[in-house]
Amino acid sequence: MPMFPRILKSLLALNLLAAPMMTPAETPDQTPTQPAAQSPATAQPQSPSKAEPSKAVLFEQVRIFDGRAEQLTEPMWILVVGNRIEAISKAPLEPPEGAALTRIDGEGRTLMPGLIDAHTHVMYATLSQQTLLTSDIGFLNIAATRAAYDMLMRGFTSIRDLGGPVFGLKRGIDAGLVLGPRIWPAGAFISQSGGHGDFRLPNELPAAPSAFSYSEKVGAAVIADSPDAVRKRAREQLALGASQIKLMAGGGVASIYDPLDVTQYTVAELRAAVEAAENWGTYVTVHAYTPRAVRQAIEAGVQCIDHGQLLDEDTARLIAEHDLWWSLQPFIDDQPSPYPEGSANRVKQLAMYAGTDRAYRLAKQFDIKTAWGTDILFSAKNAPRQGHKLAVMERWFTPAEALRMATSGNAELLALSGPRSPYQGPLGVVETGALADLLLVDGNPLEDLSLVADAANNFLVIMKDGQIYKNSLAAD
């Protein structure tokens, strides 16, 4: 028998080719939401008689914001077993017999769902645009790892990442190798040549046939200029693990070539991505600011519009009639800009900021399903202001309305990913059976929304997936 068939037969006999290799946290019968209890080097099989007791956390005398209500509850007891909320009661609860228990006395403080940011780019949040375009990908991953940890410590237990090479970071978080939020990844955003995702330098154009830019090589963005090319690139991101697809449908602030008012892609090109996503049971969201760009996207069948600060009343009405999501960000000129005054990018930024008040007014006027996100980019100074971006929502909404957006509302948007959602179970709510992503707040954010802007002092307990990552009430 020739050598290769003999080797192949041996590997098949050992079942080494039957499935991809997996870490302990990625076994087929386990949803990868819980950090590994032991490192692969030390993990040992256990007999049932020697298995560790289940872990439980009991929150005592906490007033609950459940992700939906206008008011806090009276003092309650909440029992978390494993990664789920097991029970909620007005009377004291007891853990399962033999459970390893942690008790947290809330003393009337607020227990609420972990925060959800519906528009992030964790790979791009803290580094300058020049650094991102010129640095080794290893350094970018290290910076993003720290950015993800900081997001979790600000109380953001879930994020929808809408563009960037984030698949590896997400896998590391899910495997318990590093700390960070749950990530719904889009992977590389898809752009036409000269579009919002085209970060090639002018001296790199015209591009040679089949030539890939640095951004494309590292999975940050892909350039596609026909329905077939868009379809192929969307399918590639889905194959890599995208939970939704992100297309650039109009001009943007950060890009080199495109004014804000330009419309990008044709209906046929956008529709190709929608069909690819629908075949995988998920959806397409688009970056777009203007009426024409948004109308074209709606015609193509997208399910979510991100940004839209320059929309008019008729287009907002169309979003409502199609029952689509509008993912808005509170873009106002309240933080340092990464762009120099007078630069083309700064001029575009200020023009976009000018539409934010009107956009929120239209979203409220037509009762549009509105998501909340930050889209913080290119700034180590602005990234820590993620919670401030939620607090500023009081400019347009009540604290209860803003907190609903950042919890149960954004969770509904994440659920659009359907079977492509990487984490199965209710999120953004405090209810029996929900995934245990919880914050204990020193105060009442329904009365003082500014509490969310200072997580270091006001978020006393941060829990994700039943694991406590911060507990300021623990005894020394």
Q: Which two tokens stand for residue 313?
A: 């009343």
Fold of 53-114+429-471: Urease, subunit C; domain 1 (2.30.40)
CB of 338 within 8 A of CB of 379?
A: yes
Q: Give the pLDDT confidence score for residue 475 in this predicted structure.
A: 67
**CATH of the domain spanning 115-396, picked from 3.20.20.140, 3.40.50.2300, 3.10.20.30, 3.40.50.300:** 3.20.20.140
Q: Give the pLDDT confidence score for residue 10 in this predicted structure.
A: 41
3-state secondary structure of 392: helix
Q: Which residue type sits at 22?
A: M
Can you list the positions of beta strands (E) in 283-427?
A: 284-288, 304-307, 325-328, 369-372
Q: Domain segments of the chain: what residues?
A: 53-114+429-471, 115-396
Can you list the positions of beta strands (E) in 208-354?
A: 221-223, 245-248, 284-288, 304-307, 325-328
225: left (phi over 0), alpha (psi -120 to 50) or beta: alpha
- The rounded distance, in Å, linking the Cα atoms of 221 and 208 is 17
131: left (phi over 0), alpha (psi -120 to 50) or beta: alpha
- The rounded distance, in Å, linking the Cα atoms of 88 and 64 is 10
- The rounded distance, in Å, linking the Cα atoms of 398 and 415 is 25
- The rounded distance, in Å, linking the Cα atoms of 157 and 54 is 22
- The rounded distance, in Å, linking the Cα atoms of 247 and 286 is 5
- The rounded distance, in Å, linking the Cα atoms of 144 and 151 is 10
Angle at the Cα of 148 from the Cα atoms of 145 and 149, rounded to 5 degrees: 90
Q: Give the pLDDT confidence score for residue 469 in this predicted structure.
A: 98
Q: How far is CA 92 from CA 61, 67, 237, in A?
A: 8, 22, 48
3-state secondary structure of 279: helix
Q: Which residue type sits at 383?
A: A
Q: At what angle do helices 267-279 and 227-240 cross, to 10 degrees?
A: 30
Element (H, E) at 233: helix 227-240
Q: Give the pLDDT confidence score for residue 51 in this predicted structure.
A: 57
Q: Give the pLDDT confidence score for residue 52 in this predicted structure.
A: 66
Task: Work out whether strand 76-81 and strand 55-64 pair parallel, antiparallel, or are unpaired.
Answer: antiparallel
3-state helix, strand, coil in the chain (%, to 5): 35, 20, 45
Q: Give the pLDDT confidence score for residue 96 in this predicted structure.
A: 87
- The rounded distance, in Å, linking the Cα atoms of 167 and 237 is 10
The answer, yes or no, to whether the previous bond of 206 is cis (omega within 30 of 0) is yes
CB count within 10 Å of CB 345 equals 17
User: One digit per residue, pLDDT tens: the chain, 476 residues?
Assistant: 444 344 334 433 333 333 333 333 333 333 334 443 333 333 333 444 455 677 999 999 999 999 999 999 999 999 999 999 999 999 999 888 888 999 999 999 999 999 999 999 999 999 999 999 899 999 999 999 999 999 999 999 999 999 999 999 999 999 999 999 999 999 999 999 999 999 988 888 998 887 888 889 999 999 999 999 999 999 999 999 999 999 999 999 999 999 999 999 999 999 999 999 999 999 999 999 999 999 999 999 999 999 999 999 999 999 999 999 999 999 999 989 999 999 999 999 999 999 999 999 999 999 999 999 999 999 999 999 999 999 999 999 999 999 999 999 999 999 999 999 999 999 999 999 999 999 999 999 999 999 999 999 999 999 999 999 999 998 64
CB of 310 within 8 A of CB of 290?
A: yes
Q: Which residue has the tokens 């009639």?
A: 321
